Amino acid sequence: MNIETVDGFRARVAKHSALADPARLRIVDLLTLGDFSPTELQAELGMPSNLLSHHLRTLEEAGLATRHRSEADRRRSYIRLAPGALDGLIPGAGRAARRVLFVCTRNSARSQLAAALWRQVSDIPSGSAGTHPADRIARGAIEVARRHGTDLADVPPRRLDLAAAEGDLMVTVCDNAHEELAGLGGVHWSVPDPLRLGTGEAFEQAFSDIARRINDLAPRVLAA
C-alpha cells in the first residue's frame, strides 16, 4: 500500500468518524444546501455555542468544512462544505420548489449567472432578482458566460419584491443580500463578488464556484 493510498484511507476514516455524530451529520446536511454563519447554525440546531464550536472544529479538521469572513459584516464568518467533502458520500435531504430564484444585491452578475447555469441542468424553472438592482447586467458576467457557452437571458436586473413568487426556493448568492433578508429562509451561497476586483479571473472564480454548487444542488431539488 503506497503513501497516497494510506493518506486517502485515513482521510476517509476521519470523515466517517466525524459524520458518526448525529449533530455533525445534521450540520453537514444543512451545509449541502448552502452556507451558514455559526449563529445561524446555532439557531437552526438549538445548540450551545461552545458545543457548536467543538463540532465545527471537528468537521474542519476532518476536511469536511471550511470558513471565511463575510464580505458584508466582517465580524461574521460563514461555514461551507470543503470542495470534494462528500465525494463518495450520500448528501442529506433535498427541497421541493416550483422555481429556484437566485438573489444578490445588484442582480447584475452572480444571480444572473446562477439562473442561467440552473437552466442547463434542471427542468425546474429558475429566475433571478436583486435587493437593489443595477441598471444592466455586468459586462464581466456577459463575457464569462460567453466564454463557457452559457446563454444569459436578455432580462434586465429586477427587484426582488417584484420577482418573488409563492413556491420559490430562494438562493442568495451574496452575503449582503443574505444578511439584509435575514429570517426569510431559503439557501445561502457565500460567493465572493467578482465586481469588487472586476477582473476576468474574479468572474471565472465566481462562475466556477456557482457552477459547482448548481451541479450539487440540482439533483436534490424536486418539482413542487
- At 92 the pLDDT is 61
The span from the first CA to the last CA of the chain, in angstroms, equals 49
Q: Residue 132 corresponds to which amino acid?
A: H
Instruction: Please list, in sequence order, all residues whose beta carbon lies within 8 angstroms of the beta carbon of residue 201, skipping any fewer than 6 positions away.
Output: none
Q: Which three cell numbers stand for residue 177?
A: 443580500
Q: Which three cell numbers stand for residue 48?
A: 450551545
Number of alpha carbons in the 13 Å side-chain half-sphere of residue 2 = 1
Pick among 1.10.10.10, 1.20.1420.30, 1.20.140.10, 3.90.1010.10: CATH of 3-81? 1.10.10.10
Compute φ and ψ for 103, nearest 5 degrees: -130, 135
- At 119 the pLDDT is 96
- At 86 the pLDDT is 80
Q: What is the CA radius of gyration of the chain?
A: 18
The whole-angstrom separation of Cα 179 and Cα 135 is: 22
For the domain 95-223, what is the CATH code?
A: 3.40.50.2300
Q: Residue 205 corresponds to which amino acid?
A: Q
The total number of residues written for the chain in this structure: 224
Could you read off the pLDDT tens digit of each residue along the chain, which spans 224 residues?
A: 334 467 778 888 889 999 999 999 999 999 989 999 999 999 999 999 999 999 999 999 999 999 999 999 999 999 999 988 887 665 566 788 999 999 999 999 999 999 999 999 999 999 999 999 999 999 999 999 999 999 887 789 999 999 999 999 999 999 999 999 987 879 999 999 999 999 999 999 999 999 999 998 998 898 98
- At 53 the pLDDT is 96
**Structural domain spans, the chain:** 3-81, 95-223
Partners of 96 in the β-ladder: 222
Residues 18 and 31: beta-carbon distance below 8 Å:
no
- At 91 the pLDDT is 58
Place of cell 469572513: 69
Q: Parallel, antiparallel, or unpaired for β 65-69 and 77-81?
A: antiparallel
Q: Which three cell numbers stand for residue 203?
A: 468572474
- At 224 the pLDDT is 81
